[in-house]
């Protein structure tokens, strides 16, 4: 098969998969997400039963996810310092969860190590789109993080926070 034939075959496959996605779910996703199964991706990383994770999620380090948790597209799950996410959570599109940073390493010209601290997210937590969770944070069961929030301190169970930095609303 020539490269032109292969390209035409890929375009035809993309078109077919795109139509199937639109007909079934009324949505458009990237080609890798048309090919990859979100539930298989989650299983491959050892996430809990019924959890799903888009193909374009960056997963780094030790990330543990409970059952029936949804990890939306374009998220960053940094488990370098240890990341634990409970059951029945929604981690919305573009959210970023960090367990390390390289500020001291960079400003010391490589003389200081990266800093690390684990992040724990309880069960039944909703994290709104484009939110950023800083290293060392614990988010309690049933908490809600509003869209585009920066969470740099612990959030008690059942509390709703939003903003930059996130505060109870």
What's the chain look like in SS3?
Answer: CCHHHHHHHHHHHHHHHHHHHHHHHCCCCCHHHHHCCHHHHHHHCCCCCCCEECCCCEEEEEEEECCCCEECCCCEEEEEEEEEECCCCEECCCCEECCEECHHHHHCCCCCCCEECCEEECCCCEECCCCEECCCCEECCCCEECCCCEECCCECCCCEEEECCEEEC
**Residues 76, 137: one domain?**
yes
Report percent pLDDT > 70 for the chain: 100
Taking only the tens place, the pLDDT of each residue in 104-145 is: 999 999 999 999 999 999 999 999 999 999 999 999 999 999
State the pairing for strand pair 115-116/100-101.
antiparallel
Do the beta carbons of residue 126 and residue 89 sit within 8 Å? yes
For residue 31, what pLDDT band results from cuts at 50, 70 and 90?
A: confident
Kindly report the backbone phi and psi dihedral angles of residue 43, in degrees, each rounded to the nearest multiple of 5, phi listed first: -65, -40
Q: In sequence order, which residues have a C-beta less than 8 Å from that of residue 166 and are 6 or more positions away?
A: 131, 145, 146, 149, 150, 151, 152, 153, 155
CATH number of the structural domain spanning residue 97 = 2.160.10.10
Question: Which range of residues forms the domain containing residue 111?
Answer: 38-168
What pLDDT does residue 136 have?
98
Taking only the tens place, the pLDDT of each residue in 63-118 is: 999 999 999 999 999 999 999 999 999 999 999 999 999 999 999 999 999 999 99
What pLDDT does residue 29 have?
84
**Residues 62, 121: one domain?**
yes
The upper half-sphere exposure of residue 92, i.e. CA atoms within 13 Å in the direction of its Cβ, equals: 14
**Residues 89, 146: one domain?**
yes
**Residues 73, 144: one domain?**
yes
**Residues 1, 68: one domain?**
no
**Residues 109, 42: one domain?**
yes
Residue 146 structure tokens: 């509003």
**Residues 30, 81: one domain?**
no
**Residues 28, 44: one domain?**
no
What pLDDT does residue 27 have?
85
pTM, two decimals, is 0.88
**Residues 71, 143: one domain?**
yes
**Residues 43, 6: one domain?**
no
* Residues forming beta bridges with residue 124, ordered by sequence position: none
Query: What total number of domains does the chain contain?
Result: 2
For residue 9, what pLDDT band results from cuts at 50, 70 and 90?
A: very high
Of the residues 14, 28, 100, 101, only one is catalytic, namely: 101
**Residues 97, 146: one domain?**
yes
**Residues 8, 64: one domain?**
no
- Active-site residue flag, 14: no
């Amino acid at each position: 098969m020539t490269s032109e034939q292969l390209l035409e075959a890929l375009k035809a496959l993309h078109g077919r998969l795109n139509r199937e996605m639109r007909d079934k779910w009324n949505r458009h996703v990237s080609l890798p997400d048309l090919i990859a199964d979100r539930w298989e991706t989650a299983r491959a990383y050892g996430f809990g039963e019924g959890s799903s994770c888009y193909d374009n999620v960056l997963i780094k380090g030790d990330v543990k996810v409970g059952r029936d948790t949804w990890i939306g597209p374009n998220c960053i799950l940094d488990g370098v310092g240890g990341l634990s996410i409970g059951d029945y959570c929604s981690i919305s599109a573009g959210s970023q969860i960090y367990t390390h940073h390289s500020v001291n390493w960079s400003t010391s010209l490589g003389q200081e190590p990266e800093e690390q601290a684990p992040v724990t997210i309880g069960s039944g937590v909703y994290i709104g789109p484009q939110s950023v969770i800083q290293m060392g944070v614990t988010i309690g069961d049933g908490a809600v993080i509003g869209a585009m929030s920066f969470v740099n301190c612990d959030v008690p169970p059942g509390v709703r926070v939003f903003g930059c930095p996130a505060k109870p609303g």
